[in-house]
Chain A
Amino acid sequence: MHKMHNTPLGRVFDVFNHIILLLMGLVTFIPFVYVIAASFATEAEIAARPFFIIPDTITTAAYEYIFSTNTFVRSMGVSVLVTVLGTLVSLALTLTMAYPLSRRNLLGRNVLLNLVVFTMIFNGGMIPTYMVVRSLGLLDSLWALILPVAINPFYLIIVKSFFQNLPEELEESARIDGCSDMGVFWKIVLPLSKPVIATFTLFYAVFYWNDFFNALLYISDSAKWPIQLLLQQLMMVANVDFGEMDTMLADPPEESLKMAVVVVATVPILLFYPFLQKHFAKGILLGSVKG
């Protein structure tokens, strides 16, 4: 990127910095490697060996069981659809609301901001929200997984402050060129906010991908279950206390199945990250004005 002359102290720092980060990467990643390894291991091996990276006997039984359901592909499809659609809706609503709120001269701005902050702390709870969703006729519709959670007020406030920090000179000059508010938002603000948009695309996408609680509440039709709910259901017995386990059930799920579920649920969204990552580095235009 930028050329910088490096002092000896700086070089020492560089070396340590690389080592520290590498260690961090290992510490965070090794348990995941164990999860992957355990998902391919036999039950006996998981019980006998406290920790391993490569199982002695490799079995794909856990994955076969997960993929044995007819609904697996369908649930994946539901999850991808909800994630894509939800992220688009959320981004659209968040960005369009954050921009006006970032304008200090907007009348009523403070009232609106307080209104938003208030909802971060107070909420009506599960039953009243369910009533609203039901009266809107959203039950058993995939929209019930998106609309009630469309804007995260937390994210809204952060996006707002990002917008607020954009150099005003840019907007001023655009306005002199005859741009309307809409024009400024569309042509100046959004293109400048790529890293922010990439960040919140990631945040919203991960949220929608991981969410299953709303599906539990609002979706009765199992054909519309997202993948997380299906996986939850696959290893349900795991959370039941042992002694009180319902006798109608078969054996408790195997440890390897629990691990395989983590892998299946995580890998798709993990693969999504690098595509967004490159946008985090692009802030270019911004500084040229400010500097």
Chain B
Amino acid sequence: MMKRKKKLWLILFSCLLMVILIGCNSDDEASNQEDTDGTNNDESQGENNQTDEEPFDISIMTTSFSPEPPEEDSPAWEAIEEFTNTNLDITFVPNSNYDERFNITLASGELPSIILTGKTPSFISAVEDGAFWDLTDYVDEYENLSQMNEIVKNNISIKGRIYSLYRSRPLGRKAVTIRKDWLDNLGMEMPQTIDEFYDVMYAFTHDDPDGNGKDDTIGTVISEYEGPWDIMQTWFGVPNKWGIDDEGKLYPHFQDPQYREALDFFKKMYDEGLVNEDFAVMDPAKWHDEFVNGRAGTVIDVADAASRNQDNMVKEDSSLEGSVDLFGAVEGPEGLTHLPTTGYSMMFAISKTAVQSEEELHKVLEFMDQMSTEEGQNLAFNGVEGRHYEIVDGEYTPSDDQALIYEHEDLNQLLTFIPEERHLTEPLQEIEKKEEQVMKNNEEIVVENPAEPLVSEVYGRQGEQLDNIILDARVQYIVGQIDESGLDEAEELWMNSGGKEYIEEINQLYQEAQANQ
């Protein structure tokens, strides 16, 4: 009995080992094949590199989003090394706990040459302790890196200096996706002003825009995620987090007189049923479903949601092709105003312990600059021609083999897109072209947050609570749980919960930053 059991264990174990070993073996074979493919490609590109210098070693830590991050023998990885004449050692860390890994890496004292980081308190304190290079005076020497966007550059700065290269994202990404066919059914135009927007929402709710004879539609759908309210209140001229008064002092956005205007508008929307009743608890994962289902006529989110939602609608009902449109903002009391994103998604800092001399720093920056060229972006974003994509009749056609996609997908996490995206793309649909246009127009009307680059200690400790006081009061006011005096109380609570100190600190930091410039 006992012996038989032992045998069973043994068998189980050896099976396991087999699985793992076989898994590894087959992988090695695959990678061998890749190698030969890779060298072919290298030869065709080799001519770009005239230098006889030894490849320069660069270690990088960045995020990964795919279940199979590329490995060193990936042809795309090798092509990048060839192109930039470097030896890359890239550590891909799952995005979900990147911050923890960043902190641990800081603590372990073994920083890679280039490390991706958010503008987090631990990054800032590490900068203050001299962990990273001040890049302010170096970036201007590079063709691409010198063309950073001024707003975003300001956003990533710490006390007026730049310690990192940001990964560019559209600043004017927010937009309203709208059912164009509903507008047509009702004989309405795309809204241009807040009043027109209200009329459209009202008609979407009460005038049976889908013509099915049932009262089953609403103007817009909103979930627990507070973004749509923020976007809309910006139309009313409410400042982006901080406003500047006549004396040049900063005040929190909710003290702006326009804030109450906006809230009254929201309340009216809610009372008249133009927005879903359960917005305060709605699961954000189900948010866009209501638009795709044909229950809501608009969804206030990001520009690229328009094409995504249209694709999902067409999948179910091909007659809905072309039924979705979008706009960036409607005119309010202060003209067109748009709530921007921060304009970046994390940034690359260069370690002083791993990159010790100025000469080495130049090589690292040179690498980052090269990655922003068209060829650099193509290699990291699209992979290697002939393997990961083909050019058919002048059109970019990516491979749809999942294994090949994984082979290069996460390499796009190395890109800064400074100053712009230059890689190959598939031909755009009409609506995608419109999205690009809307995002571009938005950039002209963004409302900057003057305090974005400032790092407040009070906020670090109590920011979450402070924000929640204001956010919760807004929701409670909209659904009618509190009135004007309730809003006043919330503001007072905010002041007494550290808000006063926060305002003082921000103003002091702001004055210092102004003086530095």
Contacts and interface: CB of A to CB of B under 8 A. Distances in A.
Nearest to B413: A248
B227 A242 contact: yes
Contacts of B288: 242
B68 A222 contact: yes
Contacts of A251: 308
B510 interface: no
Contacts of A76: 19
A236 B95 contact: yes
Contacts of A252: 285
B230 to A, nearest CB: 9
Interface stretch (A64-72, A104-112, A162-170, A283-291): A64-72
B289 A81 contact: no
Contacts of B316: 44
B287 interface: yes
A234 B157 CA distance: 34
B75 to A, nearest CB: 16
Contacts of A243: 174, 225, 227, 301-302
Given A71-B67, A131-B108, A236 B96 contact: yes
Contact of B403 (A70, A213, A239): A70
Interface stretch (B79-87, B97-105, B483-491): B97-105
Interface stretch (B20-28, B182-190, B252-260, B329-337): B20-28
A69 B66 CA distance: 10
A223 interface: yes
A247 interface: yes
Interface string B209-242: 0000000000000010101000000000000000
B169 interface: yes
B94 A78 contact: no
B403 A233 contact: no
B65 A236 contact: yes
Nearest to B346: A246
A220 B413 CA distance: 16
B397 interface: no
B5 interface: no
Contact of B107 (A68, A74, A127, A233): A127
Contact residues of B: prevailing secondary structure = helix
Contacts of B285: 238, 252, 255
A242 B23 contact: no
A234 B66 CA distance: 7
Tell me the dominant secondary structure on chain A's binding face.
helix
Contacts of B223: 242
B100 A220 contact: no
Given A48-B293, A217-B104, A230-B67, 20 more contacts: A44-B316, A47-B292, A68-B403, A69-B67, A74-B23, A76-B19, A80-B19, A81-B20, A131-B108, A134-B108, A220-B91, A222-B64, A236-B65, A239-B96, A241-B225, A242-B227, A243-B302, A247-B169, A248-B412, A251-B308
Contact of B284 (A43, A78, A241): A241
B286 A247 contact: no
B284 A69 contact: no
Interface string B341-376: 100010000000000000000000000000000000
B107 A131 contact: yes
Nearest to B93: A220
5 contacts: A44-B312, A216-B101, A222-B64, A232-B94, A242-B288
Given A70-B27, A74-B23, A247-B173, A80 B16 contact: yes
**Interface hub of A81, A236, A252 (most chain B Cβ within 10 A):** A236
A155 interface: no
B304 interface: yes
Contacts of B69: 222
Given A47-B286, A70-B27, A216-B97, A242 B19 contact: no
B20 A70 contact: no
- The 10 tightest CB contacts between A and B, nearest first, are A74-B23, A47-B289, A243-B227, A77-B19, A68-B402, A233-B67, A77-B20, A127-B107, A69-B67, A216-B97
Chain A: interface size category: 35 or more
A103 B325 CA distance: 76
Given A233-B65, A233-B94, A251-B308, A242 B27 contact: no
A89 B307 CA distance: 53
Nearest to A64: B402
Contacts of A48: 293
A68 to B, nearest CB: 4
B52 to A, nearest CB: 33
A260 to B, nearest CB: 14
A281 B173 CA distance: 61
B12 interface: yes
B68 A71 contact: yes
Nearest to A239: B96
A201 to B, nearest CB: 13
Interface string B384-417: 0000000000000000001100100000110000
B293 A47 contact: yes
Contacts of B450: none
A285 to B, nearest CB: 17
A89 to B, nearest CB: 14
B170 interface: yes
Interface string A240-260: 011111111101100100000
B204 interface: no
A246 B169 contact: yes
B222 to A, nearest CB: 11
B92 interface: yes
Contact of B104 (A130, A213, A234, A245): A130
Interface in B300-316: 301-302, 304, 308, 312, 315-316
